[in-house]
Amino acid sequence: MAARRISGGVGVAVLAVLLAGCGSGGAEAKDEIAVDTSDTTCKVATTKLTAGVQTFRIKSSASKITEFEVLRPDGRIVSERENIGPGTTVTFTVDLTAGSYQAACIPGMVGKGIRTPLTVAGGGKTQKRDPKLDKAVDAYRTYVNLQVDDSVATTKKFVAAVKAGDVAKAKKLYAPSRYGWESIEPVAESFGDIDPKVDLREADLEDGQEWTGWHVIEKALWKDGTTKGMSAVGDQLLADLATLKKKVGNVEITPTSMGNGAKELLDEVATGKVTGEEEAFSHTDLVDFEANVVGAKKAYTLLRPVVADRDAKLAGTLDKEFASVLGSLEKYRRGEGFVSYDTVGDADRKVLSDKVNALAEPLSKLAATVAR
């Protein structure tokens, strides 16, 4: 679930991650589309675009962390940039086919935000895409489907344990049931109606909003020590994941959405996992942490042949920093999982946060590199 707030001991380091990849605030480069967003406005300089790669330069004067999305009219998210800090400027690259879209600025990253219609026309310069990128997209689509299948299968076992009243077994299956979801979360979130049903945290509930999904059961298991009343929640979770499975086969995937998604996964680590806010009751945050990074690395690895051709230095840096982040988790590994995150002190959390920060800046360049 996209994190909505930053708090606690590693806040400064987390903020550094959110600033990674931000522009200096100067004039936009030629052909970049300026977007000015505040708490009440979302001004897009150009709303009639040409099919192909487009780069938005988003300047935020909002008082809250803001999200920028490009959506289809039916609400499907084509690509998004989360966690745009107040007073910062970021660039966001996306590959658009001809058709109707909406641009959305979402102050506080809650709700539908302020939307502006976009029209993308064909007829621009046609540039043949590197076959290696087509291969990467096809392979990533296969990976996404496999990860959804894994989450569905493991969640069925998890819900069966919940229905059987087996608290110990349900606890053991809780984090593994989420691993596949966490590894492809930006793709899953592109169907905006599913994410809040399955992955909403209690701290992010809005007034009058029904709370469903994994974290409801998490609270029952770890805080209340029971599965009582959770059967219906489990059934709904399985139904929502089944809907995801049906939809995900037709999801729009491009090289730039893979690059943006990798960065979004790292933002998930920075704003939810490192802070310990994601798994408030189970403290299984390090499992989610690993899944997010592994998912980001998968997208990068598939794009790497093109990245290496176009920017060998960037490829080398990303190789090094991915290895560093994943290596930093090993001291916490216990069997098939990790230590409870509430046993990881502030100093060690800061080390993890610094590792994530070191990866965030070069990873923010991935989408633009494959879009060249």
Number of structural domains found in the chain: 2
Instruction: List beta partners, residue 92.
Output: 56
| pLDDT confidence of residue 201 | 94
136 and 108 fall within a common domain:
no
Residue 22 has pLDDT above 90, yes or no: no
| pLDDT confidence of residue 123 | 61
Of the residues 121, 153, 179, the one at which a domain ends: 121
- Rounded CA gap, 360 and 130, in Å? 26
Whose CA is closest to 22, among 364, 252, 295, 323?
364
Give the mean pLDDT of the chain. 90
The string of pLDDT tens digits covering residues 171-203 is 999 999 999 999 999 999 888 789 999 999 999
| pLDDT confidence of residue 124 | 53
Residue 147: inside a domain, yes or no?
Answer: yes
The answer to whether residues 88 and 364 touch, using CB atoms and an 8 Å cutoff, is no
| pLDDT confidence of residue 120 | 95
- Rounded CA gap, 57 and 69, in Å? 13
Residue 15: inside a domain, yes or no?
Answer: no
| pLDDT confidence of residue 189 | 86
Residue 30: pLDDT band with limits 50, 70, 90 = low
Residue 17: inside a domain, yes or no?
Answer: no
The answer to whether residues 303 and 133 touch, using CB atoms and an 8 Å cutoff, is yes
Which position has the token pair 């899953």?
188
Give mean pLDDT, residues 100-113.
Answer: 92
Residue 11: inside a domain, yes or no?
Answer: no
Domain membership of residue 83 as a residue range: 33-121
Residue 19: inside a domain, yes or no?
Answer: no
| pLDDT confidence of residue 146 | 97
Residue 20 has pLDDT above 80, yes or no: no
Whose CA is closest to 184, among 170, 205, 203, 198?
198
Residue 23 has pLDDT above 70, yes or no: no
Residue 26 has pLDDT above 60, yes or no: no
137 and 117 fall within a common domain:
no
Residue 5: inside a domain, yes or no?
Answer: no
The string of pLDDT tens digits covering residues 242-269 is 999 999 988 889 999 999 999 999 999 9
- Rounded CA gap, 120 and 62, in Å? 27
How many residues does this entry show for the chain? 372
178 and 245 fall within a common domain:
yes
105 and 247 fall within a common domain:
no
167 and 298 fall within a common domain:
yes
329 and 182 fall within a common domain:
yes
Whose CA is closest to 95, among 353, 337, 372?
372
Residue 135: inside a domain, yes or no?
Answer: yes
- Rounded CA gap, 76 and 194, in Å? 11
Structure tokens at 198: 């399955």
> Which residues are within 8 A (CB) of 371 and not within 5 positions of it... i.e. 6 or more apart?
53, 55, 93, 95, 255, 256, 259
The secondary structure element, H or E, covering residue 367 is: helix 366-370
**Sign of the CA dihedral with 169 first, then 298, 6, and 111 last:** negative
CATH of the domain at 259: 1.20.1420.20
Among 52-56, 77-81, 167-171, name the most confident range: 167-171
- Rounded CA gap, 37 and 115, in Å? 11
| pLDDT confidence of residue 3 | 44
Asked which of 71-85, 108-122, 215-229 is least confident by mean pLDDT, the reply is 71-85
CA dihedral (284, 287, 289, 291) in degrees, to 10, reads -150
Phi then psi dihedrals of residue 49, to 5 deg: -115, 170
Structure tokens at 235: 């059934």
155 and 273 fall within a common domain:
yes
Instruction: Please calculate the CA angle 18-22-192 and round it to the nearest 5 degrees.
Output: 55
The string of pLDDT tens digits covering residues 115-161 is 999 999 986 555 577 899 999 999 999 999 999 999 999 999 999 99
58 and 201 fall within a common domain:
no
Structure tokens at 330: 């090993």
- Rounded CA gap, 177 and 173, in Å? 6
Residue 223 has pLDDT above 50, yes or no: yes
171 and 103 fall within a common domain:
no
Whose CA is closest to 331, among 290, 299, 301?
290
Residue 8: inside a domain, yes or no?
Answer: no
> Which residues are within 8 A (CB) of 154 and not within 5 positions of it... i.e. 6 or more apart?
173, 176, 177, 179, 180
Of the residues 103, 121, 139, the one at which a domain ends: 121
103 and 147 fall within a common domain:
no
Give SS3 for 269.
helix
The string of pLDDT tens digits covering residues 266-311 is 999 998 899 999 999 999 999 999 999 999 999 999 999 999 999 9
Residue 4 has pLDDT above 50, yes or no: no
116 and 147 fall within a common domain:
no
- Rounded CA gap, 24 and 26, in Å? 6
Instruction: Please calculate the CA angle 84-88-92 and round it to the nearest 5 degrees.
Output: 55
281 and 305 fall within a common domain:
yes
CATH of the domain at 86: 2.60.40.1930
Of the residues 121, 139, 155, the one at which a domain ends: 121
- Strands 33-37 and 66-71, bridge-based pairing: unpaired
- Rounded CA gap, 277 and 198, in Å? 16
Number of helices (H), then strands (E), belonging to the chain: the values are 12, 12
